Amino acid sequence: MCDTIIATGSATRDGVPIFGKNSDREPNEAHFLQMIPSSQHPPGSAISCTYVSIPQVERTNAVLLAKPFWIWGAEMGANEHGVVIGNEAVFTKVPYEKQGGLIGMDFLRLALERASTAAEALAVITTLLETYGQGGNCGFHKKFYYHNSFILADPHDAWVLETAGKQWAAIQVKGVRTISNGITIGNEWDMASADLVTYAVDQGWCKGRDDFHFGRCYSDFIYTRLSACNDRQCRTTDLLQAQSGRITVSDVIAALRDHGDNREYPLQGVTGAQVCMHAGFGPVRGSQTTGSMVSCLRPDNALHFLTGTAAPCTSIFKPVWMDASLPDTGPEPDGTYDAQTLFWRHEVLHRATLRDYPAMSRLYQAERDALEAGFVSGALMLQGGTRAERDAFAAQCFSQAAAAEEEWTHRVIANHTGNRNGWLYNYAWRALNQQARLENAL
């Protein structure tokens, strides 16, 4: 489950588009930040994606990826031209291809590597989709099959692309648009696959164009309903629409941290979902936000803020530029605890906080907010600075964040007085911690 946001220039305070995304995956499915330089490739070469190989292009762009460690593609990312993309799982009536093929995260990376605008990225994905289709397991420990939707944006343009099998529809965005784990396009779109309506008619989902509605015709009711995607998509839309015309990076960060009306802490039941997703007991509450990204799409040099860690409500957004170095986050993580990696170091703080979220989070959130505000304001002021200045500032932010989180972790563990959660919730997290070999660090 995920949530993706775009506010185009007409909706932001300084006229610069702002993109945001939470990547929701299995709790032990470590998230990884990766910067890959541009590259030339010999004619006739192929690229190996998560499950299949396809022909490579002559040149690939430099890309910044935020990804599950085991997948070739990414949940969200950016390229050297200022294009950003985030993807969402959507659940449809079209049968899922369970043999390994291209998955949504592969489409996302391929588009970033091959496109220089959001519209080109849309064309890359739809062409690959119609050529190869989509399919393959997208789960880590548990098999998980779905189709995909995307927000694609650049400094001048933004699109929502939603798919079901090889069928798709796309709509250009003006103002605020958010997507979650359901199809949001109805009976109006700007572009679509040639058989979008005829496929639905052939399946008996509608009689023709007059009564066709993409979301209503194609959506799987049960999985779409269980994902609580409508609640989350409405929540992010409402939060940003209330600020329309003056939206800032901090507003988008706040939306990604949202736990809902009058809730200071995450849900703990066996159903339900929030924008800042936290796992619980059972298959419905099996995901948590494992990484988050917010991008300020200035035409001259896009600026990206990434956590590289789970749960934005316990994380720090840190600045990264495509023309500067990605600060060291340790070795690439896997599904078990490794204190040398950014993701797993933070998991100790995150999971210790969850034992009594209201009390433990108050031990450091004010300091976190102040530190992060300095990162955001400092990075925005450095947009016109030199590459060396940006490089040094990004490294400083990652270093300060690491030191702060280490102190907060010690503080939370030292002040732990008991677990205030229910039995099923505690049972689920004990099992997850054992699976990740994390028990001794808490």
Annotated active-site positions, please?
2
Which of 90, 151, 156 has the alpha carbon at shortest distance from 125?
A: 151
Residue 166 phi, psi dihedral angles, 5° rounding: -95, 0
Count of other CB atoms within 10 angstroms of residue 166 = 19
Sheet of 288-296, strands arranged across: 176-179, 3-7, 18-25, 288-296, 303-306, 318-321
Residue 31 phi, psi dihedral angles, 5° rounding: -95, 145
Which of 257, 248, 263, 232 has the alpha carbon at shortest distance from 369?
A: 257
| Distance from C-alpha of 367 to C-alpha of 191, rounded to nearest angstrom | 46
Count of other CB atoms within 10 angstroms of residue 315 = 26
Q: Strand 288-296 relative to strand 303-306: parallel, antiparallel, unpaired?
A: antiparallel
- CA 356, 359, 365 angle in degrees (round to 5)? 115
Separation of CA 208 from chain center:
35
| Distance from C-alpha of 305 to C-alpha of 292, rounded to nearest angstrom | 8
| Helix %, strand %, coil % of the chain (to 5) | 35, 20, 45
| Distance from C-alpha of 179 to C-alpha of 277, rounded to nearest angstrom | 15
- CA 316, 326, 324 angle in degrees (round to 5)? 115
Per the CB < 8 A criterion, the answer to whether 85 and 112 are in contact is yes
Tokens of 361: 């989070």
Per the CB < 8 A criterion, the answer to whether 203 and 181 are in contact is no
Crossing angle, helix 342-354 and helix 423-435, to 10 degrees?
Answer: 160
Per the CB < 8 A criterion, the answer to whether 313 and 361 are in contact is yes
* Residue 327 per-residue DSSP state: P
Amino acid at 354: L
